[in-house]
Structure 1
Amino acid sequence: MPVVVAGFLGVVALLVAAVCLGEPRLSPAAALRALTDADHPAYVALTQARLPRAVLGLLAGAALGLSGLLLQDVLRNEVAGPELLGVSAGAAVVTATVVVLGLAVPLAALPYLALLGALVAGALVLAAIGGTRDPAHVVLVGAAVAAACSGLVVAVVGLGTEGNVVVLFRYLLGSLGARGWAHVEVVAPWVLVATVVAVVLRRRVAALALGDEVATGLGVPVVRTRLLALLVAAVLAAAVASVCGPIAYVALLAPHVARRLVGSTGTGRVLLPTLLVGAALLMAADLVARLVLYPVEVPVGVATTLVGVPALLWALRR
């Protein structure tokens, strides 16, 4: 598929750019030499900062894109996403509480706690919207829950020290800064397992996107499939939020871009392109956030929001 090949090449190009750009700025050949030579002056910067950050951006972007695709298809709402259903914000509240209060929780356990917060917030939104699929209603309810969660994050951070301003930015806007291989190791298993489950569910999710009656006629267990797909979407968003914060709008945009590129709305055909588009969107946004005001770094959530808000308004207008 040409779209998949182009997406893969784009992700590879962004990965190379993420490793090469910054201070020091290196050519691809020089970066390759630095990565393979432990005595090279740039070896530590590349292997312990730039490369894990780029890999984390790839994983997080792919996870958010897939989360958005599942939510949009099973809820049959084109503006559904973890940031608009309060899922990411709920995960951020729990994670920020653990970090700011210095609770003795291992890094590997954070996604479990983040998932709990994500499920609670998502359940509140789903209960409030009821059976409606009106995009404006979903956005309003989701925005209210997300705002409440953001207020809780501010309150929690206020209990900490002045040095927790960085934590505030991380859990309100999302950031890939100061992340290493330990964070990649936390996110990677969750993304891998959830992606495999999503691939297995793709045909059932595609049937749900056609309507409950059609899905039932095709022999799809509607309630069980919807709950499982929503759980997978929440797991993906919570895993990302546990180490990166609530990065907004990647999950909303990636499925739409992938559908337009593929020329299809079928879940099975769009799934892999959505993973690639999500990864590319977040990696590109992180490059902009890291370099546009260098040496000052902008939270990546700011870059994704500047693109995502106009896209959301356009989608609502449609």
Structure 2
Amino acid sequence: MSSPGAGTALIGLAGIAAGAALVLLHLTSGTPALSPAEVGQAFGADPDDPTRLIVVDIRLTRVIVGVLAGAALGTVGALLQDGLRNPLATPELLGVSGGAALIVAIITVLHAPVPRVAMPLLATVGGIAIGLAVVAASARAREPATLLLVGVASSTFLSGCVIAIVTLGRPSDVGLFYQFLLGSLANRSWDSVWTVLPLVVVGFPLALALTPSLNTMRLGDAVASGLGVRVGLVRNAVLALGGLLTAGVVAVAGPIGFVALLAPHLTRLLLGTVDARWVVPLSGVVGAVLLLAADTLGRAAVQPREVAVGVWTVLVGAPALLLLLRLPRRALP
């Protein structure tokens, strides 16, 4: 396993710098356009000041949700690809996105008697519940492919349930739910931030703790078991942690595809290593930059209208996936 060398710090700093530039662009662009000085002044203005409301309560919350969601997706993608030894493993295969979408569909389309402010929390719980069910169903599986098949089956079943619910809804309700399915960072509040932030704060250290075992598992399950790694336990921990982080993201931003797939591969190419100790944390940085960049493109492409960030990640991610399939095997997990 090759070492990332001194370039790791440079790549990390470049990612942080790119993220900072995108954050500043988000805070200053839009209607009205603001200068960096005006943005700085807005943080010290009165709570009722219109500029402060725009910067702090509209644009800043969107940026924070984007950073947290991108970091979570990038980290989960790296965990799943290494833990399942499959370069195409994504959070969607856990059924978490489908579980969260089902809860949102029930609340939005069927008008379940619950407060709308509770929807992100309930969607998170629903996504986690489905993810844990997939983990439990796969607990005795000896091959990673079995885990993926269980996840695909769960996702397909949940998609069918969502479609069935949508057919029962009114056009106005279906339109609102459709916006959720596209994946978007627009109009996110501080409640959205507080929904996903605790999951990232807890999940990121746990992800780092799994990286030594993930490196050992690259030698094969039999060898890893002989070296003292509890392969089944580690793999289930990866699935559970991936489900936890993905559920929080889907609950506040909807299903956003390809970030979890692309971020780890880009990180490995930049680092020149597959060492999970470096790939997992830096995939979070790359994921945050990718999602902020896609959201910036969505805001700027057809002004004054916006294209949902989930649309741009698919449009860019699908061709990128075809390129990844052409990579030499040594560049893949």
- TM-score normalised by L of structure 2: 0.85
Cα deviation, 1:164-198, whole Å, max 9, x if unaligned, reads 24433334221112211001101100111111111
Letter in 1 for 2:325: L
Q: Does 1:7 align with 2:19?
A: no
Given the alignment, which residue of 307, 311, 314 partners 2:320?
311
Q: Does 1:221 align with 2:230?
A: yes
1:79 equivalent in structure 2: 88
Note the C-alpha offset of 1:123.
Answer: 7.1
Q: CA distance change for structure 1 residues 229 and 6 in 2, over 3 Å: closer, same or farther?
A: same
Structure 2 stretches of 5 or more lacking a match? 1-8, 328-333
Q: CA distance change for structure 1 residues 99 and 195 in 2, over 3 Å: closer, same or farther?
A: farther
Matches within 5 A, 1:84-123: 84-100=93-109, 101-104=111-114, 106=118, 107-120=120-133
Distance in 2 separating the partners of 1:234 and 1:244: 15
Q: CA distance change for structure 1 residues 182 and 162 in 2, over 3 Å: closer, same or farther?
A: same
The Cα RMSD (Å) is 2.7
Any conservation in 2 of the 1:91–1:118 contact (CA below 8 Å)? no
Distance in 2 separating the partners of 1:160 and 1:176: 24
Note the C-alpha offset of 1:274.
Answer: 0.6
2:5 equivalent in structure 1: none
Structure 1 stretches of 5 or more lacking a match? none
2:217 equivalent in structure 1: 208
Percent of pairs identical after alignment? 41
Worse-superposed segment, 181-190 or 111-120 = 111-120
Any conservation in 2 of the 1:91–1:116 contact (CA below 8 Å)? no
Distance in 2 separating the partners of 1:156 and 1:190: 29
Matches within 5 A, 1:100-249: 100=109, 101-104=111-114, 106=118, 107-120=120-133, 131=143, 133=145, 146=155, 148-249=157-258
Secondary structure in 2 aligned to 1:25?
Answer: coil
Note the C-alpha offset of 1:22.
Answer: 0.8
Letter in 2 for 1:98: I
Given the alignment, which residue of 26, 38, 43 partners 1:35?
43
Number of positions where the alignment pairs a residue of Structure 1 with one of Structure 2: 313
Letter in 1 for 2:128: L
Secondary structure in 2 aligned to 1:42?
Answer: helix
Any conservation in 2 of the 1:190–1:239 contact (CA below 8 Å)? yes
Any conservation in 2 of the 1:258–1:274 contact (CA below 8 Å)? yes
- TM-score normalised by L of structure 1: 0.88
Any conservation in 2 of the 1:61–1:278 contact (CA below 8 Å)? yes
Q: CA distance change for structure 1 residues 295 and 149 in 2, over 3 Å: closer, same or farther?
A: farther
Any conservation in 2 of the 1:259–1:270 contact (CA below 8 Å)? yes
